[in-house]
Amino acid sequence: MQHYFGIINYKNIEVDYFTRKATLDNKTLDLHPMEWAILAYLLFNKGKIIRHVKIIDDIWGNGYTYKSQTDRHTLHVAVSRLRIKLDKDIIVTRRGIGYGIL
């Protein structure tokens, strides 16, 4: 995953890479570390649809190799939980391809 230190704002969301905090409408979001990583990653790559395998490889990192449908399911569950905490339309799904924030 590319590293960025600073703050990214998108609509009513703010992600602070230094403190690893995220806010929605100036209210702190209670995010699991995986949810935070996915949100930060998608915001850093906003405007693109990122393939499931690429997201898994980049977020899990350090030579992690995509091993099974279980990895993809774990990603889907984390994105689903994240959508509940955000505006549901923020994260776009391209079925069979990946996710993005457009």
Give residue limits of the domains in the chain: 7-100
Least confident of 28-37, 42-51, 64-73, 75-84: 64-73
Residue 77 confidence class, pLDDT cut points 50, 70, 90:
very high
Q: Over 60: is that where the pLDDT of 71 sits?
A: yes
State the CB neighbour count (10 A cutoff) for residue 59: 16
Q: Specify the CATH number of the domain 7-100.
A: 1.10.10.10
CB 61 within 8 A of CB 13: no
Phi, psi of 9 (to 5 degrees): -110, 140
Residue 84 confidence class, pLDDT cut points 50, 70, 90:
very high
pLDDT of residue 93: 93
In a 13 Å sphere around the CA of 72, the CA atoms on its Cβ side amount to: 11
